[in-house]
Amino acid sequence: MPLDQTALLIELEPVVATNLDRHLSLAKEWFPHEYVPWSEGRTYDGLLGGEAWQDSDSKLPDVARTALIVNLLTEDNLPSYHHEIATLFGRDGAWGTWVHRWTAEEGRHGIAIRDYLTVTRAVDPVELERARMDHMSAGFSNGHPDSAMHSIAYVAFQELATRISHRNTGKATEDPIAEQLLARVAADENLHMVFYRNLLGAAFELDPDSAMQAVTDVVVGFEMPGANIDGFGRKALSIALAGIYDLRQHRDEVLQPVLRQWNVFGRTDLSGEGEKAREQLATHMDELESQAARFEQRREARRQRQEAKRV
Ligand SMILES: [Fe+2]
Ligand SMILES: [Fe+2]
């Protein structure tokens, strides 16, 4: 019998408690202000009559700026994420403690990245603020906001996706300070991923068919949390061309390792709908494989054309 949502949340409560303890024992305290080179800062124009931002102020490569903006806007939408998980998981007991703790940790990410960008003049602060207003005004919903099973599956993948994206954005900045900051953020995202991955692992034990169906729905319809950022398609393409986050990484470094942890393709406890969902997932993973390969070929051809032009 599939578990109804309340039963699922109740059954998972002790797993949340155990993993919350695990999380708290592994999470390291860190301070955003230590990652920001404050002495490089200069007063801006406007109220205080300093100097307006200009493009030449930024020392970062274009694509690193784009990726940082996407990552920060994604972090900025935290009130929407909080609303979603607080509504689904509740604010009591171990679930509630997790919801608030997670929110507090995520809040640090936006604070740290924004301080870094503003002080180093890495991006246009006016454009950034306008983009934040637009993005937050639109809000966010994960596509299955009423289903706890789907939402846990979604965040397990999404936390790992943000981990990879932050880490590779750090490398793309070619700035050791930004790299350290984003590696620190990525380490948090990894712990978040482990928490949700363990939770869904337990859900697989409780109700394998429903868990399997949720995983397939989420993987097949996956969208990054920043997908509704203005101009996301164009931004995501340049991020993919730079190898910061592309389909290959999405398939091989985000989907695969999590699916492997749940032993999705080796399970013997699926029946009917669960089996069907697993088959659909296998087909989708094959399709992603060919799409990733095609993208890599096109990217390589593009690189060669650009190189030929340079000679
Ligand atoms: Fe984050
Ligand atoms: Fe996270």
Query: In sequence order, what are the beta bridge partners of 160?
Result: none
Q: What is the mean pLDDT of residues 258-283?
A: 98
pTM value is 0.96
Query: First and final CA of the chain: distance in angstroms?
Result: 66
Residue 247 has a pLDDT of 97
Q: What is each CA distance from 173 to 114, 121, 274, in whole angstroms?
A: 15, 13, 43
> Which DSSP category does 44 fall into?
B
- Ligand 1 center to 106 CA (angstroms): 5
- Ligand 1 center to 42 CA (angstroms): 27
- Ligand 2 center to 257 CA (angstroms): 17
Least confident stretch, 31-35, 61-65, 223-227 = 223-227
Q: Which listed ligand is nearest to 160 at the C-alpha?
A: 2
CA distance 126 to 263: 47
CA distance 2 to 44: 58
Q: Which amino acid is at 241?
A: L
- Is the pLDDT at 310 greater than 90? The verdict is no
Residue 267 has a pLDDT of 97
Q: What is the mean pLDDT of residues 269-285?
A: 98
Q: Are 132 and 76 in contact (CB under 8 A)?
A: yes
- Is the pLDDT at 250 greater than 90? The verdict is yes
- Ligand 1 center to 181 CA (angstroms): 12
- Ligand 2 center to 174 CA (angstroms): 23
Q: What does pLDDT average to over the chain?
A: 96
CB-CB neighbours of 251 under 10 Å:
18
DSSP string computed for 111-137:
HHHHHHHHHHT-S-HHHHHHHHHHHHH
Backbone φ and ψ of 51, nearest 5°: -100, 135
Model confidence at 130, pLDDT cuts 50, 70, 90, reads very high
- Ligand 2 center to 159 CA (angstroms): 5
- Ligand 2 center to 113 CA (angstroms): 14
Q: Which listed ligand is nearest to 78 at the C-alpha?
A: 1
- Is the pLDDT at 69 greater than 80? The verdict is yes
Q: Which listed ligand is nearest to 155 at the C-alpha?
A: 2
Q: Which listed ligand is nearest to 76 at the C-alpha?
A: 1
Residue 183 structure tokens: 């590696």
Residue 3 has a pLDDT of 85
Closest to 256 in 3D by CA, of 163, 170, 161: 161
Q: Are 16 and 98 in contact (CB under 8 A)?
A: yes
- Ligand 2 center to 105 CA (angstroms): 8
Per-residue model confidence as pLDDT tens digits over 229-241: 999 999 999 999 9
Residue 4 has a pLDDT of 93
CA distance 49 to 208: 62
Q: Which listed ligand is nearest to 190 at the C-alpha?
A: 2
